[in-house]
Amino acid sequence: MWFPRLASDRALRRHPVEGPFALILAQGGAERIYCLNREAGRRGLHPGMSHTDARAFCPELRSRPADPQGDEWFLHALRRWATRYCPWVGIEEDQGLVLDVSGATHLFGGEEAMLSDMRQRLMRTGLEVRLGCADTRGGAWALAHHGEGIAPPGELLSALEALPVAALRLEAKTVTALQRLGLRRIGELEAAARAPLARRFGMELLRRLDCAMGRQPEPVTPLSDPPHYGVRMALPDPIGLQEDVMEGVSRLLDRLCDKLKRREEGARVLRLTLRRVDMEAQSVDLRLARPLRDPARILPLFARGVGEVEAGFGIDLLRLEALRVDRLPARQVAHVSSDRDDRMDDLISRLGTRIGLENIQRFQPLDSHIPERAFTLAPAAWSEPEGPWYSLRPRPLRLFPPEPVTPLGATPLRADTPRPEGRRTAPPPPDGERDRREHLLAASGAAPAGDRRDPAPRPTLGAREAGAGAAALPREVPTPGATRLPEEAPAPTLSAAPSAAPPGNATRGSLPTAGARESGTGAAVGTMEMTAPASARRPAEARAPAPSSDEEPPAPASHVPAPHSDVTRPTPQGGRPPRCFRWRRMRLTTARATGPERITPEWWLEDDNWRSGLRDYWMVETEEGRRLWLFYTPQAPGWFVQGEFP
Amino acid sequence: MTTDLFARFPPRRGRVHEACGPAAPAFAALCAAHTPGTVIWVRPAWGSDALNPLGLSAFLDPARLLLAQVRNQTDGLASMEEALRDGALPLVVTELTEPLDLTAGRRLQLAAQAGGSTGLCLIPEGMGSNAAETRWRCTPVYAPDDSTLQRWALIKNKSGTPEAWHVGWEAETRRLHVVSPPGERPGAAAPSG
């Protein structure tokens, strides 16, 4: 049984079209004709032709995109249909069926009658078919593809000898070669000496020939029906009460679950279809958190869906089908029952019927330094809890999309600038001051110039840490200690940093060391704790610099040239969180900042949120209590809040 | 004199409680840490802020947490009621965005009693329901030597008096401890209230 135009016949069955018609499939960057109807074939089109050529030949060509997957399903449906003739039906290539009708023909009144019955039925459905019937599979193929007909039993050779050699299912190359040798018909090939043929063309040719002639067996491989998990119940009288429907469902479930149990499978998706007297069908879908085949557990999950069904004049047909099944091997029942897990799965299924099963999720760890990509949410029904969860640094409890903060009045520079007055942060600064600040801001954002270098934008770890040191330096420095710095550490290096710190430096938590670099994937992370002295946080003496001098030692390492005076002191204020800022309409004052922790973007992934380049994260504890996770983007200067600590 | 926090703190089972204030998620996380078994956290899917499991791992194993993303508050309340009534999960946390009316609050309370689970609603300030057993206002407090200090004020209590505690959290040992009020703590700004 060969369907030469299966795909286009199928497409035309659904939407009939007059005139030439073709199905188009994109192959190798060009749209080519996949299958066409008889009318189009008559105009000189052929499969494999490009669509544009075909349109040039035949301007009135109608076309649709091809669907090879759907054609395959259609062929399988045809295979199932063909089992009405005989039980052994297999699929032959992608456009044919092979039926082993031995012993079945008399049921239809002989081979002739059977073939005409097939032809009639298929023509009625609009499918073009070529039928061939022979003692062997190869012979039937040859007859179906090259001149239809029936080879009477025992006279195979006479039926086949006039057919071209291509009817033997040979490669095109072999066929051409045979034709050049003058062997055009199967009869001629059969008459030729076998040994030279085998030497010239290999065993394949002779094998095909023997298969067609019946000297070598070629069995039909029937496909088995996939297990079908569907049960139905027709009722003599329509029912309308919810309890009645549930009772019916319970009986159907018993039958379905028996089937599932025999195959050690569990239902994942169930569909209950209720047909009303007026032939209106309503369905209730149930998705389960775990594969289940226990009727007692599944039945209550249907209650909600059944309650929403409109019964109308009554329901007279119930149909229950498992749309998806998963393996569920039999398990040893332990005397310590895992009742709790089962109850939780049931609860997830039940919540899933209301809010959608994929909306019940659990966290799964991912390997990434990017805070928002360090985890993923997976539907709980299709995942297992995973772990462990590592975080080397404290992470905020809540994350939100970065929100810009507005630094207020006192930038770090302002906080550092020695002032005779106690509190000069809130009022706007005089113009000269503002100019200078803006200038410095610009300097920190742009490429570092002269001695006002801001090392922060440099992407290397060493430079960053030095930058942090530099950032730390002017924060508390308007002290004699700071001016001593150049003599103490004229050529500061990273390794010199911890040793330069006096032992009394209790508030300086962890200095950046090589260990601060996390092994891994491109995120260089270091943390430096910078704790302002307690006295400096008191509002009354907040920005008075003098009291801090005895507690804060001179910052040890810096690439920044030594400060010579307060005015020209380089202040890479980009590196330090603003003293005072506004976030979500709240005015917050930084009391303690821990950081920075530099996280570089993952260059191998495109992420618009990380366009602004690397980020220096700070945990900022405010005097108001809120503990925020701020970051600074040195490559596009700006401060953002991304999370909140508890 | 204040009573022991731990007479109040893992809030009473079989009841629905409320928490408000900026540190309410931390309060919920601490409740979850003090509850064995799986915890479900119901939150609106449209909320822009997300729970960070890495931050959560300081309190409890994030694998113990189920997240239910709901479209609206009705779905959220229905899910919470369902989970409470079922009782398979010992703690149900719900983030609410709109005020609860008395019926909804009472229904939750009845469901919690039926299932024996604890419910915890994280509510915006001033949107509490009268049916709640307790209401906690949780605010982070700045302290010079403690990055976890919070003030938990019990502002509604059906079976006791309002009180307040200052608590800290030790991530290494996963232990909650009550600390002295900030008035006696040098350098800490005294919180209002």
The answer to whether the complex's ipTM is over 0.90 is no
Domain assignments of chain B as residue spans, ordered by start: 5-137
Asked if A645 is an interface residue toward chain B (Cβ–Cβ < 8 A), one would say yes
Is A275 a residue whose pLDDT tops 50?
yes
Asked if A551 is an interface residue toward chain B (Cβ–Cβ < 8 A), one would say no
Model confidence at B110, in pLDDT bands (50, 70, 90)? very high
Each residue's pLDDT tens digit, A400-414: 888 988 888 654 433
Average pLDDT on A125-154 reads 84
Is B161 a residue whose pLDDT tops 70?
yes
The confidence score (pLDDT) of residue B71 equals 92
What does the alpha-carbon distance between residue A254 and residue A260 come to, in Å, rounded to a whole number?
Answer: 10
Q: In Å, how far is B102's CA from the nearest CA of chain A?
A: 23
Is A241 a residue whose pLDDT tops 80?
yes
Task: Tell me whether residues B65 and A362 touch, CB distance under 8 A.
Answer: yes
Q: In Å, how far is A617's CA from the nearest CA of chain B?
A: 15
CA dihedral A32, A35, A40, A41 (to 10 degrees): 100
Each residue's pLDDT tens digit, A23-47: 888 887 888 888 888 888 888 888 8
Ranges assigned E (strand) in A395-482: 398-404, 406-407
Q: Are the C-beta atoms of A541 and A535 separated by less than 8 Å?
A: yes
Q: In Å, how far is B185's CA from the nearest CA of chain A?
A: 11
Residue among A369, A367, A366, A394 at smallest CA distance from A522: A369
Is A150 a residue whose pLDDT tops 80?
yes
What does the alpha-carbon distance between residue A334 and residue A397 come to, in Å, rounded to a whole number?
Answer: 39
Task: Tell me whether residues A398 and B25 touch, CB distance under 8 A.
Answer: yes
Is A13 a residue whose pLDDT tops 50?
yes
Q: Are the C-beta atoms of B28 and B19 separated by less than 8 Å?
A: yes
Chain B residues near residue A354 by CB distance under 8 angstroms: 75, 78-79, 82
Write out the H or E segment, with its range, that includes residue A247. Answer: helix A242-262
Q: How many CA atoms lie within 13 A of B64 on its CB side?
A: 20
Q: In Å, how far is B140's CA from the nearest CA of chain A?
A: 5
In chain B, the residue whose alpha carbon lies closest to the alpha carbon of A588 is B142
Q: String of b and e for A455-492 (b: at least 16 CB within 10 Å)?
A: bbbbeebbbbbbbbbbbbbbbbbbbebbbebeeebeeb
Average pLDDT on A615-639 reads 90
Task: Tell me whether residues A398 and B50 touch, CB distance under 8 A.
Answer: yes
Q: String of b and e for A521-559 (b: at least 16 CB within 10 Å)?
A: eebbbbbbebbbbbbbbeeeebbbbeebbebbbbbbbbb
Task: Tell me whether residues A359 and B68 touch, CB distance under 8 A.
Answer: yes
Residues of A (519-538) whose Cβ lies below 8 Å from B? 531, 534-535, 537-538
Task: Tell me whether residues A398 and B189 touch, CB distance under 8 A.
Answer: no
Task: Output the average pLDDT for chain A.
Answer: 74
The confidence score (pLDDT) of residue B114 equals 93
What does the alpha-carbon distance between residue A101 and residue A421 come to, in Å, rounded to a whole number?
Answer: 107
Token pair listed for A628: 């925020």
Is A202 a residue whose pLDDT tops 60?
yes
Chain A residues near residue B33 by CB distance under 8 angstroms: none
Is A487 a residue whose pLDDT tops 60?
no
How far CA A534 is from CA of A153, A641, B137, in Å, comes to 107, 25, 27
The confidence score (pLDDT) of residue A459 equals 40
Domain assignments of chain A as residue spans, ordered by start: 6-129, 230-330+340-355, 361-390, 402-501+508-645
Taking the CB of residue A211, how many other CB atoms lie within 10 A of it? 19
The confidence score (pLDDT) of residue A413 equals 39
Is A155 a residue whose pLDDT tops 90?
no
Token pair listed for A396: 């905020």
The confidence score (pLDDT) of residue A538 equals 40
In chain B, the residue whose alpha carbon lies closest to the alpha carbon of A506 is B145
Model confidence at A574, in pLDDT bands (50, 70, 90)? low
Each residue's pLDDT tens digit, A162-181: 888 888 888 888 889 888 88
What does the alpha-carbon distance between residue B154 and residue B137 come to, in Å, rounded to a whole number?
Answer: 6
What does the alpha-carbon distance between residue B154 and residue B139 come to, in Å, rounded to a whole number?
Answer: 12
The listed range with the strongest mean pLDDT (A430-434, A503-507, A532-536, B26-30) is B26-30
Pairing mode, strands A639-645 and A615-622:
unpaired
Each residue's pLDDT tens digit, A451-470: 344 444 444 333 344 333 33
Q: Which of A297, A343, A355, A375 to mutate to test the interface with B (most CBs of B within 10 A)?
A: A355
Please tell me which of the candidates B51, B63, B142 has its beta carbon nearest to residue A398: B51
Residue among A549, A533, A526 at smallest CA distance from A591: A533
Give residues with Cβ within 8 angstroms of A543, minimum separation 6. Answer: A410, A414, A415, A419, A422, A423, A424, A425, A536, A579
Average pLDDT on A421-448 reads 40
**Which stretch of A19-23, A498-502, A592-596, B21-25 has the lowest confidence by average pLDDT?**
A498-502
What does the alpha-carbon distance between residue A19 and residue A483 come to, in Å, rounded to a whole number?
Answer: 94
> Looking at domain B5-137, what is its CATH homologous superfamily?
P-loop containing nucleotide triphosphate hydrolases (3.40.50.300)
Q: Give the number of beta-carbon pairs within 8 Å between A and B.
A: 164
The listed range with the strongest mean pLDDT (A238-252, A297-311, A552-566) is A238-252
Average pLDDT on B159-181 reads 84
What does the alpha-carbon distance between residue B64 and residue B31 come to, in Å, rounded to a whole number?
Answer: 13
Chain A residues near residue B45 by CB distance under 8 angstroms: 359
DSSP per-residue letters across A200-220: HH-HHHHHHHHHHHTSS----
The confidence score (pLDDT) of residue A350 equals 87
**Which stretch of A131-135, A522-526, A609-613 has the lowest confidence by average pLDDT?**
A522-526
Chain B residues near residue A535 by CB distance under 8 angstroms: 187
Task: Tell me whether residues A646 and B55 touch, CB distance under 8 A.
Answer: yes
Task: Tell me whether residues A375 and B53 touch, CB distance under 8 A.
Answer: yes
Tell me whether the omega of the peptide bond preceding residue A238 falls within 30 degrees of 0, making it cis.
no
Q: Which residue has the higher pLDDT, A13 or B111?
A: B111
Q: Which of B69, B125, B142, B166 to mutate to test the interface with A (most CBs of A within 10 A)?
A: B142
Q: Which residue has the higher pLDDT, B138 or A555?
A: B138
How far CA B105 is from CA of B42, B136, B155, B158, in Å, comes to 16, 16, 17, 14
In chain B, the residue whose alpha carbon lies closest to the alpha carbon of A362 is B66
Asked if A393 is an interface residue toward chain B (Cβ–Cβ < 8 A), one would say no
Chain A residues near residue B191 by CB distance under 8 angstroms: 625
Task: Tell me whether residues B141 and A351 touch, CB distance under 8 A.
Answer: no
Q: In Å, how far is A622's CA from the nearest CA of chain B?
A: 7
The confidence score (pLDDT) of residue A148 equals 77
Is B169 a residue whose pLDDT tops 90?
no
DSSP per-residue letters across A521-572: SS------EE---HHHHSGGGTT--GGGTTTSPPP---SSPPP-STTT----
Q: Are the C-beta atoms of B29 and B59 separated by less than 8 Å?
A: yes
Task: Tell me whether residues B50 and A348 touch, CB distance under 8 A.
Answer: no
Token pair listed for A75: 């062929």
Chain A residues near residue B114 by CB distance under 8 angstroms: none
Each residue's pLDDT tens digit, A295-315: 988 898 888 889 888 888 899
Taking the CB of residue A347, how many other CB atoms lie within 10 A of it? 23
Q: Which of A359, A377, A589 to mutate to test the interface with B (most CBs of B within 10 A)?
A: A359
Please tell me which of the candidates A350, A626, A646 has its beta carbon nearest to residue B25: A646
What does the alpha-carbon distance between residue B150 and residue B178 come to, in Å, rounded to a whole number?
Answer: 10
Each residue's pLDDT tens digit, A104-119: 888 888 888 888 898 8
Write out the H or E segment, with its range, that includes residue A642. Answer: strand A639-645
Average pLDDT on A279-304 reads 88
Phi and psi at residue A621, in whole multiples of 5°? -100, 130
Give chain A's radius of gyration (CA, Å): 41
Please tell me which of the candidates A396, A622, A646 has its beta carbon nearest to residue B142: A622
Token pair listed for A336: 């310590």
Task: Tell me whether residues A350 and B82 touch, CB distance under 8 A.
Answer: yes
Which residue has tokens 């600590």? A645
Task: Tell me whether residues A397 and B55 touch, CB distance under 8 A.
Answer: yes
Please tell me which of the candidates A351, A388, A531 has its beta carbon nearest to residue B83: A351
Asked if A387 is an interface residue toward chain B (Cβ–Cβ < 8 A), one would say yes
Each residue's pLDDT tens digit, A371-387: 888 888 998 888 888 87
Q: In Å, how far is B57's CA from the nearest CA of chain A?
A: 7
Q: Are the C-beta atoms of A499 and A505 separated by less than 8 Å?
A: no
Pairing mode, strands B163-170 and B175-179:
antiparallel
Residue among B116, B61, B57, B60 at smallest CA distance from B92: B116
Q: In Å, how far is A392's CA from the nearest CA of chain B?
A: 10
What does the alpha-carbon distance between residue B78 and residue A529 come to, in Å, rounded to a whole number?
Answer: 46
In chain B, the residue whose alpha carbon lies closest to the alpha carbon of A369 is B54
In chain A, the residue whose alpha carbon lies closest to the alpha carbon of B56 is A397
Query: Which of helix, strand or coil describes residue B44?
Result: strand
How far CA A602 is from CA of A395, A402, A609, B111, in Å, comes to 19, 17, 11, 47
Query: Which CATH code fits A230-330+340-355?
Result: 3.30.1490.100
Q: Are the C-beta atoms of B31 and B11 separated by less than 8 Å?
A: yes
Average pLDDT on A68-73 reads 88
Is A492 a residue whose pLDDT tops 50?
no
The confidence score (pLDDT) of residue B154 equals 92
The confidence score (pLDDT) of residue A476 equals 38
Model confidence at B95, in pLDDT bands (50, 70, 90)? very high
The confidence score (pLDDT) of residue A555 equals 39
Q: Which residue has the higher pLDDT, A299 or A558?
A: A299
Annotation: CATH topology of A6-129: MutS, DNA mismatch repair protein, domain I (3.40.1170)
The confidence score (pLDDT) of residue A320 equals 93
The confidence score (pLDDT) of residue A191 equals 85
Model confidence at A368, in pLDDT bands (50, 70, 90)? confident
What does the alpha-carbon distance between residue A423 and residue A496 come to, in Å, rounded to a whole number?
Answer: 36
Token pair listed for B39: 């915890």
The confidence score (pLDDT) of residue A346 equals 86
What does the alpha-carbon distance between residue A168 and residue A210 come to, in Å, rounded to a whole number?
Answer: 10
How many percent of chain A have pLDDT more than 90? Answer: 10
Bridge partners (DSSP) of residue B137 are B20, B153
The confidence score (pLDDT) of residue A34 equals 87
Asked if A203 is an interface residue toward chain B (Cβ–Cβ < 8 A), one would say no
In chain A, the residue whose alpha carbon lies closest to the alpha carbon of B144 is A534
What does the alpha-carbon distance between residue A583 and residue A570 come to, in Å, rounded to a whole number?
Answer: 28
In chain A, the residue whose alpha carbon lies closest to the alpha carbon of B73 is A355
Residues of A (354-373) whose Cβ lies below 8 Å from B? 354-355, 359-363, 365, 371-372
Tell me whether the omega of the peptide bond preceding residue A498 falls within 30 degrees of 0, making it cis.
no
